[in-house]
Structure 1
Amino acid sequence: MSLQIPNDKIWISELNKDETVRGGFDRDRTVRFYDTTLRDGEQAIGVVFNPDEKFEIARTLSELGVGRIESGFPKVSAEDTEAVKRILEADLTSEIWGFARCVISDIDAHIELGTKQVLVEISTSDLKMQAYGFDRKKVMERLTNAVKHARDNSLRVNFFAVDATRSDTGFLKDVYSTAIETGAEEISVVDTIGACAPEAVEALIHDIASHVGPGIPIHWHGHNDFGLATASAIAAVRGGATWIQGTVNGMGERAGNADICEVALALQCLYDMPVELDLTKARDASRVVKQAGGYQVDGWKPVVGENLYIRESGAVASQFHIPQAIEPYSADIVAAERGIVLGKKSGLASIQLKAEELNLSVSEERYPTILAAIKLLATSEERLVSDEEFRQIVARSQ
């Protein structure tokens, strides 16, 4: 189900509406999201989700509107097995997919738990094959056996070509053809180490889509090593990808994965593409995952950053009454609260807004004295001034 953002909540440049920007997208289909926070996201250094946390994250992802949740890799540990089992039994709205290497025992672990659909992976680049100690013949043999085994046990299969963007294109096409002929119903084009520019992503997806035909859904899985994961995901959609794989907060190994909420926001607001994600739930999902993972994100991070709608600068505060002047999209889209904080960079308008927020009666002639006290405190202690300190400064100014 597509959740359309009202146009009056989006305040982007008119230049974005040019056909050179918005052309090439198929707006008759809705972009959907396959979340891999519980598997690829957990590969972030030092992050360990216990079964209770994985269950809570899965529940939150379902509320966010994620079409598919990758439940995990039960072969890793007994705890992962328990988490997958609980998620499968939860009867969530999202489809639950399993992750497996092209290894029969990996697939059997999912069969035993009752998984109905599985993503199976194997490396397809010569570099990765060399690192693992096998060749192209072995890749074909392993993927054929794995896909056949999954299909023989009534599992739906998405074939996931690891390091696809650095693979020989001819061999990559042969791999996808073999996977589909063996029974895979969907394929994933994977930029395992974020080594592909957005323009190259679009071209590759278009080429693969033409090769496999319109009946095979294509997933894009990209990483953020050059800070281009969101741009690459958008390019993949323009190229013909049906699904975007990624994580909450963009977490993951090295520089992380594509952030599904960032991709959803950009596709809707900048490219007018329908997406299946409820961005009013994005900040809740971010909070749950951060808490479980024991980390924080930057206050200025798109969609979920705590400071996106909080203003300290006096020059910006003077425009606060017209959100369109200082923000590209409404806080309502991501269910955020707008507000003013006081510090070194505050101005006279900041004093007025904060006084109104706290229901304090402050005459305009006192603003300069109050502002000077705020700047002195903020500068000397190199921090913001709290609301309580503001009340005290106001009281002393009388």
Structure 2
Amino acid sequence: MRAPTSLQHHALRRLSLLPGRTNHAVSACVARRTLLTGAAATGSAAATRLTTRMGLGGGAAPPPPSAGGGATTKFSAASSHFSPSSSSPLSSSQSPLQRTAQIANHLQSPAQRRSSSSTHRALSTMASSSAYSVRKIAAANTLEHRVYIEKDGVPVSPFHDIPLYANQEQTILNMIVEIPRWTNGKLEISKEELLNPIKQDVKKGKLRFVRNCFPHKGYLWNYGAFPQTWEDPNSIHPETKAKGDNDPLDVCEIGELVGYPGQVKQVKVLGVMALLDEEETDWKVIVIDVNDPLAPKLNDVEDVERHLPGLLRATNEWFRIYKIPDGKPENQFAFSGECKNKAYALDVIRECGEAWERLITGKTPAGDVSTANVTVSHSPARIAPDQLPPLPAHQEIPPEKIDSSIDKWFFISGASA
């Protein structure tokens, strides 16, 4: 069982000032609340045993809150909220558990109540992301390989059906991992195929792999894309002076865990670089997984340099030189390679979200981009899930072996300049 939190100690201290039997009864109620909160943190079974032992409710313990915040059980230990409003008077018709929660809520400051409510909403949003799963078709490193994303067993488009924002405040975003860190296969969301599965890019009939440019190995980050964004090729950015690259926004996730293709991560935005790739604007948004140990310390681009020194410089270098081994010229950056801050990055994301909105509603011609989706109610390309063509069954097949030449290191003159 967890020890009482500082807030609960504060509540008990304040209640000790109440006189007479009110002091005794209310203090006992809050003490029970303290024990129940600790028990809830260790599991519903422990909470049930504690409730029964203490005689709360005079019988069976109330059911624990469901993972999705079920309709019948309004109380949440995470948020200290239940169905009556925080301003309603104590009622004898309420259960002891409800009265306990309401007392605790009255003792919180408005800021604490808002923080608690935000935490509850964030936890609910994070829990919903676990509903996403992947369906893998054929072996990785083959032309036939596809990774479809499903929600609650229904195939969805990672381009169109996964929300861009993961919370109401729009401070946490969803990203789709396409390429895990330290790997070389150039996987990407297929814009042209129905439901936009992830596949390996192909050039002249051959699978594409990025080369290892010393001292780097594969991709430096979990590389992926923001859903419901689009870099409009019909629009020239006023500062980069180049059109969009006709793709979802690219994302570099710099956390410590290696992801997997099709993973839906919740991330916070830190900054953005503007790569100029073959006369197109190709934004690279720098983010970190909200569950990463460093996430609380990283809130803007300057924090990245403070806590991860050298990473932004290496990121700039990697994007400049990674095509040179394939005979391409060095890439260039807008803004002299500067990584713009969080506020600038959020503006870029908003603009690309608006461009996607025009695409999905048919206001901008889609060209060869498949806009088929199953959730966007105002999209003319929406398809009912039962109208989707059947997909092959999920296949767990070992990846095909790749040519050993992919592991070669290339030494680029002046790469570290």
Higher relative contact order (CA 8 A, sep 6+): 1
More strand by share: 2
Q: Give the TM-score of the pair, scaled to structure 1.
A: 0.27
More helix by share: 1
Q: Give the TM-score of the pair, scaled to structure 2.
A: 0.26
